[in-house]
Amino acid sequence: MKEINMIAAIGANRELGYQNDLIWHFKEDMKFFRKITNGHPIIMGRKTFESLPNLLPNRQHIVLSHQNLEIPEVKVFSSKEEIDFYLKELEEIPFVIGGASLYRMYLLEAKRIYLTEIQATHPADVYFPEILLDRYERNTIYSGDERNTKYEINEYVLKKSLQLEASNKN
């Protein structure tokens, strides 16, 4: 594994989810998620996995859990170290897709963070970790609004000088 990416949709206060469910449902965001993760392994915590309505096609699902789960077509690991070892064998760039605990775990290692930043607030019980903006170059991929709510999809690329440091953690 050469790099690891991350993707999330967050509110104005970095709200991610509430009562184990997603809180943001925007068409362009979903479309972007499907497109950019297509064909890539996706890494998630057990709670996020359980919140999926079904397996996402054409993506290998990698789930972190302390439990000894056996789920058809899904790789379950019980520690970050086990996941990282497994990722070394993979060609495709993996995406961490949540939830909060996995974002915290991989934040400093992610080379690209795709953040859909929604200009709205929502009750939440999980939040995306704070990112230090001066670590990244920001590219705006999409800017628009749906149902009177503005949002942007931004790509935060770890600055070159920090990439070696991050890949040493992989």
* Structural element, H or E, at residue 101: helix 100-106
Q: Does 67 bind ligand NAP (CB under 6 A)?
A: yes
In the bound complex, what is the minimum distance in angstroms from residue 68's beta carbon to ligand NAP? 10
Cα three-residue angle 147-156-34, rounded to 5 degrees: 55
Q: Judged by CB under 6 A, does residue 51 bind ligand NAP?
A: yes
The yes or no reply on residue 20 touching ligand NAP (CB under 6 A) is yes
Select 27 or 159, whichever has its Cβ closest to ligand NAP: 27
Residues 6+ apart with CB under 8 A from 77: 62, 63, 64, 65, 83, 86
Give the DSSP H or E segment for 162: helix 160-169
Whose Cβ is closer to ligand NAP: residue 94's or residue 98's?
Answer: 98
Give min distance, CB of 135 to ligand NAP, in A: 20
